[in-house]
Amino acid sequence: MNAPAQGKETSAGIAAYAADFPILARPVNGRRLVYLDNGATTQKPQAVIDAEARFYSESNANIHRGVHWLSQHSTDLYDQGRERVRGFLNAAQVEEIVFTRGTTEAINLVAASWGRPNLKAGDEILLSGMEHHANIVPWQMVAEQTGAIIKVVPVTDNGELDMEAFSRLLNQRTRFVGVCHVSNALGTINPVADIIRQAHEVGAVVLVDGAQAVAHQAVDVQALGCDFYVFSGHKLYGPTGIGALYGRKALLDAMPPWQGGGDMIHTVSFERSTFAETPQKFEAGTPNIAGVVALDAAIVYVQSIGLERIAAHEDRLLQYANEALAQIPGLRFIGQARERAGIVSFVMDDIHPHDLGTILDMEGVAIRAGHHCAMPLMTRFGLPGTARASFALYNSTDDVDALVAGLQKARRLFGMEQDA
């Protein structure tokens, strides 16, 4: 079977972007690398690789502490990166951007520094049923420590949040709402603006997990009205080990530091310490300066292409993949929300997702197979896991064709289809 030809992407521009990513030129198992695991991490363009290497070869020094030129230069690059993230999210003030190791650390920071001091027994934490473990486990820890209660917004059969149930669950005891902007397991784009509006009507604070959103659509935290927004650089064509927390300054100012150490203090004595202003009080120790510089380069790279153009390209790929995969006997989609980003999640009759992933790997096709750090969501669908193909700006319909061919081979290997 051939994938449908209608809508096939032939843009020379897209091919040019793929050429920006050196890892895509390396073969895997003697085959062309078809990288469809972008929901886990994206590959890095040469511009990002060069930016990090250039920092270490030309600019490396610790920040905020030195009077010498390199230290001041490194500090300027770090501050430039913070301003870049501020503009990327359209935060009102640069002080509203806190650098973290990624989404997980950012959520843990909010849970520890906002959740523990503000939640008490009987307060309710409302999470969606499609959250990544990173937006579940920290709140379970806080609930155990404070006596707060976790409530869960159910997920419909087509992979959308049940918004009627969400409205019913909201009440005057709801103090916090945590929701992913885009589901990492299903690609569902949640109506976060509506969620935030309703949550604020009962006085709840809202954190949006934007890890799967920022590489696929423009995000305006002021327009959304969220209290916290978090993302990771490595899902945005940037390096691992760097991410950011946006928080409304009034909230951040009222929150105590999470970690203690150098560079987050104003004064220290053995009797007491006083702390730096926001955001520095949340960035103890030597930060990932090179990571900030490379994240800056990643944002510049994405913005040079345009998020609207990237989103349109990925939407075309998603439609093409849906049509192609739907023709494979025994394949069943998991989650077909009306609004989705570039993720397709599926299972195949009598073939475990891990087996699918292994067979596809032998064909050079990299996908993700398993529970995707969303075990409660997998339980909701009665599955141990799914196979997930996730798209990025450098993917093409040729990549989808390779995925389809690999799945056909899996069917033959499992005796579900005879060789032509």
Q: Kind and range of the H or E element at 37? A: none
Contact 146, 123 (CB under 8 A): yes
Q: Which residues pair with 369 in a beta bridge?
A: 387
The token pair that represents 257 in the structure block:
């530091």
Can you state the angle between helices 353-362 and 397-413, rounded to 10 degrees? 110
**Where in the sequence numbering do the catalytic residues fall?**
373
Q: Are 148 and 156 in contact (CB under 8 A)?
A: no
Q: How many residues does the chain have?
A: 420
CA separation for the pair 200, 202 (Å, rounded): 5
Structure tokens at 362: 């032998």
Tokens coding 248: 């409304």
Nearest to 233 by CA among 296, 149, 320, 174: 296
CA distance 78 to 66: 14
* Residue 337 near residue 159 (C-beta atoms within 8 A): yes
Those residues with Cβ within 8 angstroms of residue 156's Cβ, 6 or more apart along the chain or in another chain: 162
Which long-range CB contacts under 8 A does 248-254 form with residues at least 24 apart?
248/96, 249/92, 249/93, 249/95, 249/96, 249/278, 251/114, 251/205, 251/227, 252/95, 252/96, 252/98, 252/278, 252/279, 252/282, 253/277, 253/278
DSSP 8-class letter at 395: -
Contact, 276 vs 64, CB < 8 A? no
Return d(Cα 339, Cα 75) in angstroms, integer.
Answer: 41
- The letter for the amino acid at 380 is R
Pairing of strands 27-28, 31-32: antiparallel
